[in-house]
Structure 1
Amino acid sequence: MAFQFRFDRMMQINESEKKLLEQQYNEIYQQLERQGKRLIALMERKENVQNQFENQKRVKMTIADVMSQTQLLSSISEHLKEEQSRYNQIRTRVEHFHQKLLDKSIEIKKFEKLKDVQRQQYDRIERQKENQLMDEKAAINYLRH
């Protein structure tokens, strides 16, 4: 009789859930990276606009130009806040999935450890049965002669 782990089906289900979680985690992580790149590009744009505004202030500027640049900077700042908010939301989701993935990994490790313990116990019992059978055969052979 071969060893059969009684929680094998549960272990397979947990492993498939872990694979699904890994896929979801990777997708969300990619979203986080894309959002981070957008955020960096927006920060660079804001910095460029500010530098350009500072350079233009040294030269003659009309009030309309000053108002236009100020409004542009304000618009970029608002957009930057929105993008930071999205980034933080995605980061929170990434952390949530990371924790779920860790929990699932720990659960699978527990099943693997339990499987190892039960396998060792099964092997020990099988060796005892085999030794007992060999002892009985040796005793029968001894009594025949």
Structure 2
Amino acid sequence: MMSTFRLQKLWTMKEKEKQAALAEYEEAVHKFEQAAEALYKLLKEKERCEAERDRRLQDGLAVGAIRHTLQYLASLQQTIDHYQLIVMRAREQMQCRHQRLIELNIEVKKYEKMQERVRRWTEQREKEAESRLLDEIAVQRFVRQGEL
């Protein structure tokens, strides 16, 4: 029975590690989603601004307004580049945490299988002991009946 207790302790420890890894993974997914959403909004803003610029160029636009629009687009592009790096790092972090979660899940499953094997082995030994005891009782009854 001591081996079952040890396996239970190890399994519990690994299960806690897995739950912590799951929480870290969910946090990484959340950060990735936030960064990707911010990048998406910036790209939509750039697309909108470029469409507005093209429309205004066809209508005729002052040089100062063109310069202002180009500066805004350049600034927006720098921000987009920055957010692309953030999204890339967040994706890498999310993938790393996902891989760790998979590894821990495999470890937990291994301990669960070992625990199940120990349980079945213990049950088998108990059945064998019970069977031997019943056989012994049957032999004793037979011997007693023969003595009568």
TM-score, normalised with respect to structure 2: 0.93
> Residues 57-113 of structure 1, C-alpha deviation per residue, up to 9 Å, x if partnerless?
112212221111111111111110100110110111000000000000000000011
Cα distance in 2 between the residues matched to 1:128 and 1:107: 32
Note if contact 2:4-2:115 (Cα within 8 Å) is conserved in structure 1: no
Aligned-residue RMSD, C-alpha: 1.5
The aligned counterpart of 1:75 is 75
Residue identity opposite 1:127 in structure 2: K
For residue 6 of structure 1, report the CA deviation from its aligned partner: 2.9
Cα distance in 1 between the residues matched to 2:109 and 2:23: 20
Note if contact 1:5-1:118 (Cα within 8 Å) is conserved in structure 2: no
Q: Within 5 A, what are the aligned runs for 1:96-111?
A: 96-111=96-111
For residue 23 of structure 1, report the CA deviation from its aligned partner: 1.1
1:49 counterpart = 2:70: no
Cα distance in 1 between the residues matched to 2:6 and 2:59: 81
Aligned residues: 145
Residue identity opposite 2:45 in structure 1: R
Q: Percent identity?
A: 24
The aligned counterpart of 2:127 is 127
Cα distance in 2 between the residues matched to 1:6 and 1:13: 11
1:66 counterpart = 2:79: no
1:90 counterpart = 2:90: yes
Flag structure 1 segments of 5+ consecutive residues without an equivalent. none
Higher helix share: 2
For residue 32 of structure 1, report the CA deviation from its aligned partner: 1.0
Change in CA separation of 1:3 and 1:129 when aligned onto 2, cut-off 3 Å: farther
